[in-house]
Structure 1
Amino acid sequence: MPGYLIFEIEVTDEAAWRHYREFAGPIMAASGGRFVLSSDRIESLEGGWQPASISVVEFPSTDDARRFYHSAGYQKVVGLRQLASRGKGILVDA
C-alpha cells in the first residue's frame, strides 16, 4: 500500500526554496517518491484552513516514505526547507 507525505508549506524565501528543491527532488525520486500534487490554488471549504500551498508525495509504501524522510541524505537538507519556509507535514498510510 502506498504511503504519502503531505506538507502544508508557506515559502518565505524564494531563493533558498529553489536551493532546497535542487537537492531534495533527486533524493526523493531516488527513494521512489513522486509528486501527486503540489499547488497554491486552494479553496477553503470548512474550518477556515487556508494553507499557502499543499504538496502530496506518494511512495511505494509508508516504510519507504519514512525511510526517505529520516534518511541521512534528506536530513541534510531539511534545514534548508525550514530556513526557506514555514510548514507542517504528516505521513499517511493509504
Structure 2
Amino acid sequence: MSSYLVANYDVTNQEGYNTYLSAVGPTIVAHQGKILVAGPNSTPVEGDPGGVTVVLEFPSREALEGWYNSSEYQEILNLRLDNT
C-alpha cells in the first residue's frame, strides 16, 4: 500500500533552501519515491498552510521510513530544517 509524506512550511532562507532542493530529489528516487506536489502554488481548501507544500509518494510505509532515515537524507535534512 502506498504511503505519503505531506510537508508544509515557510522558507526563511531561499539560498540555503535551494541547496536542499538540488540535493533531495535523488534521495527520494533512490527509495522509489515520487514527488507529487512541490512548491508554493497549492491552493488550500481549508486552513492556513505555510508557503510551500510537498507531497511525496512511496510504495510502502517501510520505503518512506527507509528514505527518511537513510544516511543520504539525514546528511541534508539540516538544510531544510535550518532554512524553513
- Calculate the TM-score normalised by the size of structure 2: 0.87
Give 1:5 deviation, angstroms.
0.8
- Counterpart CA distance in 2 for 1:66 and 1:42 is 25
- Structure-2 change in CA distance of 1:75 and 1:43 (3 Å): same
- Counterpart CA distance in 2 for 1:9 and 1:29 is 22
List alignment gaps of at least 5 residues for structure 2.
none
CA RMSD of aligned residues (A): 1.4
Q: State the identity %.
A: 27
List alignment gaps of at least 5 residues for structure 1.
86-94
Runs of 4+ residues deviating >4 angstroms: none
- Structure-2 change in CA distance of 1:44 and 1:59 (3 Å): closer
Corresponding residue of 2:2: 2
Structure 2 residue identity aligned to 1:19: T
- The SS at the match of 1:84 is coil
Give 1:49 deviation, angstroms.
2.2
- The SS at the match of 2:6 is strand
- Calculate the TM-score normalised by the size of structure 1: 0.79
Residues matched between the structures, number:
84
**Between Structure 1 and Structure 2, which shows a larger proportion of strand residues?**
1
